[in-house]
Amino acid sequence: MNSQSATSLDAPGRALLRSVALVGNPNCGKTALFNLLTGARQKVANYAGVTVERKIGIARLPGGQSVSVIDLPGTYSLNPASADEAVTLEVIEGRRAGEDVPDLIIAVVDATNLRMNLRLVLELRRLGRPMLVALNMADSARQRGLVIDTQRLATELGCAVVETVGVKHDGHLALLAELARDVDRSVAAQEGESWHVEVPDAAALQHEVKRLLALAAPAAAKTARFHPRLDAWVMHPVWGLVILSVLLFVMFQAVFSWAQWPMDAIKAAMTWLGETVTTQMADGPLRSLLVDGAIAGAGSVLVFLPQILILFAFILVLEDTGYLPRAAFLLDTLMGKVGLSGRAFIPLLSSFACAVPAIMATRTISNWRDRLLTIMLAPLMTCSARLPVYALLIGAFVPDRAIGPFNLRGLTLFGLYAAGVLSACGVAWVVKRVWMKSSYQPLMLELPPYRRPSLRNLLLGLRDRAKIFLGRVGTIIFALTVVLWFLSSWPAPPEGAAGSAIQYSFAGQIGKLLEVLFAPIGFNWQISLALVPGLAAREVVVGALGTVYSLSGGEEAGADALAQVIAQQWSLATAYSLLAWFVFAPQCISTLAAVRRETNSWRYPALMTAYMFVLAYAAAFVTYRVTLWLGA
């Protein structure tokens, strides 16, 4: 990746094309085109506001030249209304520190929605910069019977117009060919011209769009983009909520029931690996490191890969179909009642994957107080790193029993996710009344048309998600379990010491110290110790428990054995208390760093840590005491 773009003259009055910027309305397929042009794997989804920061990649043209491609957040006009739209304007005006203005603008247009998209193209034309129009989703437009006269459109706009399909592997070839033709001529055209933006009158723009459509795509106004009958159900205030609840129920049921077979296979592989190393290797520290550290620790986290992939498969399909923004509209009234902006839905939804990109996604919220509140709430949504912890505890303590058509374990998981959402609503309600008072901001979000999910997108998304998870297991989780293994193995116990060796180790002593703080909520020293590396990455808690219990009792390695051990050694009250702790658990370090970066202050990450610690402790305390009182 190259963040620099420069124009170098190779002949008098002529310059080489070095950088191009993809500019367009939100959800017109800029990032899909960027991925095709550069081979990158940036996130794409069928709703507005996925890209909030500019991304740069290198595209190779047919002639062998390289061009730097800049993917920009979507914008409806050159009059920015939010932080992400401001990024786009900064880049195309050359106001971004350390970056030159792009040599060519590729105006990406959703060919199925010309009426809205051409307005931005006309604004961009006024910049007087070299420009090229990419009619994206050209295949969808053709399927709907929309005929676009590209030659006529090119003549009227005064620049080349090419058709592209961002979701097909060869959908960018026409664009590449046009870029190759533009390589030598583009910069000469911009000399002496102003880059200052004058936002024209909206009514005049719309009038001009109508004129263009009448000439180049007369059928555009008549082509239906939506399915009103389907939306009448999906966005119905009652049936819509029922459909949403059923979808979420099915998703959480699937996480448990569909993942069983692959999880069993990974567990068996881990057990076999542990046994093989134990039998094939001489007793010593390396064997202990491999069996008690790597296999019992990092290996026990690996087991949860199938569940994470199933959860993401559902999320990716829902994103691709265009359902998620409809769910945002559906929940807008509820979110408004607790004081949240409807725009907060998409960032909060992203939090189910990871709070870090979700915190960045709040840039689409223009009101600072609403944005700050969404940032503070994002970690309350259940990120995928908590899933292994939930799955381990549910697997160990919740019976595998059917309740009507549902499985009790799936229902418990659904309940934990719901607890995160409800607690976020509760916190928002309180905060809006005592601190960040602001008026309700109505939700204005462009509804995308329904699309059939792309199998290619789904598989690529799952591959990326698996790579991220395996990458974390192989790097930070492995490193932390090795460090914990070391702290749990040294120093050796004194002569004649009773009990397991780990109790005399550094880790054992740290655990005992922390136990004083956590005993009132039912946590033993092993749990207290495991919470510390869990601040780096949540999944490490599972690995840390695996290592600590493996060293404590010499049990079989692997997540299956860990589930059995904790089921025997912990009370039900302790397990429920730990689940309650994890609903509110103080955030991982990466999240706090992201909050610091986005708010330019240490005050907010400190506040977030404090309020989440208090909530987590209080919830775990109440859960523990109530469960004990009930006799569990």
Partner 1 sequence: MIMPTLQMLVVTLIVVLSFAYASWALMPAAWRRRLAVRALGLPGLRRNMTLQRAARGANSCGCDGCDGVPAAASGSGQAQTIKIVRRAPP
Site residues (CB under 8 A) for partner 1?
A: 3, 41-43, 52-53, 81-83, 86, 202-203, 206-207, 281-287, 289, 354, 356-357, 360, 363, 366-369, 371, 438-439, 441, 444, 464, 468, 471-472, 475-476, 478-480, 482-483, 485-486, 536-537, 588-590, 593-594, 597-598, 600
**Token duo for residue 444:** 């204005």
Smaller CB separation from partner 1, 227 or 603: 603
Smaller CB separation from partner 1, 99 or 110: 99
**Smallest separation (angstroms) from partner 1 to the CB of 54:** 9
In terms of Cα–Cα distance, which of 318, 313, 323, 312 is closest to 353?
312
Contact 327, 563 (CB under 8 A): no
In terms of Cα–Cα distance, which of 309, 323, 238 is closest to 458?
309
Smaller CB separation from partner 1, 77 or 423: 77
Smaller CB separation from partner 1, 14 or 437: 437
Q: In whole angstroms, give the CA distance from residue 292 to residue 558.
A: 9
User: If you ran DSSP here, which 8-state letter would residue 163 be given?
Assistant: E
Q: In whole angstroms, give the CA distance from residue 397 to residue 400.
A: 9
**Smallest separation (angstroms) from partner 1 to the CB of 601:** 9
In terms of Cα–Cα distance, which of 525, 522, 543 is closest to 534?
543
**Token duo for residue 417:** 């996710």
**Token duo for residue 229:** 């009958």
Smaller CB separation from partner 1, 104 or 220: 220
Question: Containing H/E element for 469?
Answer: helix 455-472
In terms of Cα–Cα distance, which of 63, 23, 52 is closest to 176?
63
Smaller CB separation from partner 1, 78 or 573: 78
Smaller CB separation from partner 1, 224 or 282: 282
**Smallest separation (angstroms) from partner 1 to the CB of 227:** 24
**Smallest separation (angstroms) from partner 1 to the CB of 388:** 15
Q: SS3 string of 432-461? A: HHHCCCCCCCCCCCCCCCCCCCCHHHHHHH
Contact 150, 163 (CB under 8 A): yes
**Token duo for residue 393:** 């505890």
**Smallest separation (angstroms) from partner 1 to the CB of 289:** 5
Contact 387, 311 (CB under 8 A): yes
**Smallest separation (angstroms) from partner 1 to the CB of 33:** 17
Smaller CB separation from partner 1, 140 or 457: 457
Count other Cβ atoms within 10 Å, centred on residue 81: 13
Residues paired with 68 in a beta bridge: 19, 58
**Smallest separation (angstroms) from partner 1 to the CB of 302:** 15
Beta strands of 7-48 (E only): which ranges? 9-11, 14-15, 19-24
Smaller CB separation from partner 1, 298 or 563: 298
Output phi, psi for 609, to 5 deg.
Answer: -60, -45
The conformational region for residue 496 under phi > 0 = left, psi -120 to 50 = alpha, else beta, is left
Contact 396, 564 (CB under 8 A): yes
**Smallest separation (angstroms) from partner 1 to the CB of 94:** 16
**Smallest separation (angstroms) from partner 1 to the CB of 384:** 10
**Smallest separation (angstroms) from partner 1 to the CB of 347:** 13
Residue identified by tokens 């979507």 is: 74
Smaller CB separation from partner 1, 485 or 582: 485
